[in-house]
Amino acid sequence: MTVQFGNALPRVDGRLKITGRADYSSDVALPGMVFGRLVLSTVAQGRIRRIEVPRAAPGVVAVITHENMPRLRPLSFAQPGQTAGFAGKGFVPLQDDRVLFNGQVIAVVVAETPEQADAAARQVTVGYDLEPHRVDLDAALTELYKPGGEVDYSRGSVDDGLAGAAVVVRPSYATAINHNNAMAPFATVAVWEGEKLTVYDATQGVHYARKVLAGWLGLAKDNVRVVCPFLGGGFGSGLRTNAHSVLAAVAARMVGRPVKIVLSRAEMFTLIGHRPETRHSLALGARPDGVLTAVRHDAVQATSICDEYLDVHTKITQMLYACPNVSTTVRLVRLNVDTPCPMRAPPEASGVLALECAVDELAYALKLDPIELRRRNHADHDPRSGRPWSSKALLACYAEGAARIGWETRPIEPRMLGEGRCWVGLGMASATYPVYGSAASARAALLPDGMIHVASGSADLGTGTYTVMTQIAAETLGLPTERVRFELGDTDLPAAPLAGGSMTVASVGPAVAEACRKLRERLLDLLRQDESGAEIEETIRRPERLQALLARHGLERVEARVRTQTAGDDAWSAYAFGAHFVRVRVDRDTGEVRVTRVVSAIAAGRIVNPRTARSQIIGGVVGGIGQALLECTELDRAYGRIVNADLGEYHVPVNADVPEQEVVFVPEEDLRVNPLGVKGIGEIAIVGVAPAIANAVFHATGIRVRAFPIRPERLLEQEF
């Protein structure tokens, strides 16, 4: 029986949110609470010679600079200068007088009211000893370095493959800095009771945040509690634990009162990371029939001066197509910027953008339909590992998407379709994302009121974790969802991994199912002691009978706890696959690109909730429209300052930029990936969207813009 898998249950937390009763970390108010305001550097590199803070300004209760900031302990699991990935950040705030990027925290002012803190922070004066800085990636390409670890890959001989090719394309692409820009500003409220610290934070993983905070502050893990029941978006920027969180904790200890720090929108641009700027050079060779003979992909990515953040942008290039000769590299360059962080589908969002545009360029060079080219190079097994796929429905996604967007009437030549003053084009690209999974814990309990309480210290970024976990629990127990209450976002709850890598349902889901199965067995055991037969099933469905059961056995509650192991079987290569199809209209006079239709065909295993899943895909596509056409963080070369650190000038797609979207989930049964058969959808949603748009723009105009975002002026530079 599955009544819940496939049930489009509306969000169980929806009512709380739309009535304003869901408390985000910025909503937390505690008695005696004071407010921290950060002071940021206004230069990109140098040393602080002097910093004068008006300690006597009205309402000021404390000032923290590098001069009085306690020294934090290094994190044993993320050493400065080492590849930290999302795991942590080598940069720790206020530890010395060095400034390594414009917008770095250089002081915290704590005052009785936010306004007083703000006013005092504005009066801070700083003298710097300036040092040369660099924020221009193209100007720094001579200073590339190879990061540690296995970042390069090769199989066969690309040189031989290119020599033997009938057609070769060698395109290069550039992507801009993108900012995650979660809707809700990140905020932290910290409060101490003796040696015990409680932190209300905006995070994609309370257990991970606890590990980082306890590590920095030298506290036992049990003395730190992190709470985050709601997060107003994260897109990866809530994975890392950042300066403001630990500064709130330090300030709270210093003043002996709860301290709240809410980031401004501008601070969200320099304190929590971004999708790094990249450059890509590719070479693709093919036989006349389109079969690939060689694929080379060399990527360059910017990281910060103080940290080595690395996305291996070439990972998907290694496995997406069957090709005997493949070589990929990634190099880094250090710039005076905040350390990048994961942003929805690192490294796929940037890497697949380059690969799937290059494949499109190859299709035109071969005068071959881009879908047909992809079909001819379909990888029937994982060409990187040699393993079979756990499942793969990419061909079905091509077919579904093509049928729905009307691909069969698409002319193969560009600049053939028009509508009034506009050129019209159709483009597509493949999407894929690995299936990740992690160990997780959960507990399930029958409470005296007959409700089933299920809990795991996971996160809901607005993605639907509450809803889907409620469904998984109800499904396992054979109960309606109204009988289940699911709780997350608190280190007092069983440990769950970071909500990242599209793996929450795949990781926490099996733990929730297992806990509920165990609880059900316990209840059945108890029932068998006093009842028999069909009565038992009936009793589980009736709250009053369960209450009576607890009473009969003199129990407060019946509880089951589990910890699952990492799911997945190494015999298989596990990925979700899909394809995005896009129709665009390009104004011949203004160069303005309008996306007029998107069809996304996604095969991601079992879809527990088609409503929240569809929302994920729609959101990812909106992010892809931004990446392709709008989103670009601009740095002033002279000062290294972000000049568009607000949502007025950092353009994200608004409703008027987002067309009708069609989302198709291609059915897929795959119990090899995990016991629930779910592959994850949060990130595949964006992978392939931007190249599909770029490819549609080329089909419309015959102009290949290789620098993203595709702005009107980049099209108008050429005649069309």
> Which residues here bind ligand MOS, judged by CB under 6 A?
204, 234, 236, 239, 342-344, 346, 500-501
Q: How far is 640 from 133, CA to CA, in rounded Å?
A: 8
457 or 500: CB nearest ligand MOS = 500
Burial of residue 642 (CB within 10 Å: 0-12, 13-18, 19+) is buried
Beta carbon of residue 224, minimum distance to ligand MOS (angstroms, whole number): 22
Token pair recorded at residue 549: 């059961």
Q: How far is 567 from 82, CA to CA, in rounded Å?
A: 28
575 or 698: CB nearest ligand MOS = 575
Burial of residue 182 (CB within 10 Å: 0-12, 13-18, 19+) is buried
Beta carbon of residue 394, minimum distance to ligand MOS (angstroms, whole number): 22
Choose the catalytic residue: 631, 683, 713, 719.
683
364 or 436: CB nearest ligand MOS = 436
DSSP for 233-275 reads --TTTTTS--HHHHHHHHHHHHHTS-EEEE--TTHHHHSS--B
Helix (H, G, I), strand (E, B) or coil at 694: helix
Q: How far is 604 from 478, CA to CA, in rounded Å?
A: 25
683 in active site: yes
285 or 501: CB nearest ligand MOS = 501
Task: Look at the block and give the residue holding tokens 């996160």.
Answer: 459
348 or 360: CB nearest ligand MOS = 348
Task: Look at the block and give the residue holding tokens 């994260």.
Answer: 234
Q: Are 581 and 401 in contact (CB under 8 A)?
A: yes
Beta carbon of residue 85, minimum distance to ligand MOS (angstroms, whole number): 10
Q: Which residues contact 247 (CB under 8 A, 6 or more apart)?
A: 36, 38, 64, 93, 94, 105, 108, 261
**Intra-chain end-to-end CA distance of the chain, in Å:** 58
86 or 101: CB nearest ligand MOS = 86
Q: How far is 144 from 498, CA to CA, in rounded Å?
A: 31
562 or 690: CB nearest ligand MOS = 690
Beta carbon of residue 17, minimum distance to ligand MOS (angstroms, whole number): 20
234 or 619: CB nearest ligand MOS = 234
Beta carbon of residue 266, minimum distance to ligand MOS (angstroms, whole number): 22
Beta carbon of residue 259, minimum distance to ligand MOS (angstroms, whole number): 27
The CA angle 251-253-255, to the nearest 5 degrees, is 70
Closest CA to 469 of 481, 128, 65: 481
Beta carbon of residue 35, minimum distance to ligand MOS (angstroms, whole number): 29
236 or 691: CB nearest ligand MOS = 236
Beta carbon of residue 494, minimum distance to ligand MOS (angstroms, whole number): 21
Q: Which residues contact 693 (CB under 8 A, 6 or more apart)?
A: 427, 582, 584, 593, 595, 624, 625, 628, 629, 710
Ranked by CB distance to ligand MOS, the top (closest) residue is 236
φ, ψ for residue 203 (rounded to 5)?
-150, 150
481 or 633: CB nearest ligand MOS = 633
Sheet containing 196-200, strands listed edge to edge, beginning at the edge strand earlier in sequence:
60-65, 105-111, 34-40, 259-262, 187-193, 196-200, 224-227
Beta carbon of residue 108, minimum distance to ligand MOS (angstroms, whole number): 27
Q: Are 275 and 303 in contact (CB under 8 A)?
A: no
Beta carbon of residue 183, minimum distance to ligand MOS (angstroms, whole number): 15
Angle between helices 689-701 and 610-625 (to 10 degrees): 50
Beta carbon of residue 551, minimum distance to ligand MOS (angstroms, whole number): 45
685 or 694: CB nearest ligand MOS = 685
Report how far apart, in Å, the C-alpha atoms of 669 and of each of 477, 583, 680 are.
22, 30, 13
DSSP for 62-125 reads EEEETTTPPPPPPPTTS-TTSB-GGG--S--TTSSSEE-STT-EEEEEEESSHHHHHHHHHT-E
Helix (H, G, I), strand (E, B) or coil at 146: coil
Closest CA to 25 of 374, 234, 261: 261
Torsion, Cα 526 529 533 539, to 10 degrees, reads: -40
Q: How far is 635 from 44, CA to CA, in rounded Å?
A: 11
Token pair recorded at residue 546: 């369960």
Other C-beta atoms closer than 10 Å to the C-beta of 254 total 19
346 or 425: CB nearest ligand MOS = 346
Closest CA to 283 of 169, 373, 360, 361: 169
Closest CA to 337 of 707, 634, 648, 651: 634
Closest CA to 539 of 551, 523, 518: 523
Catalytic residues: 683
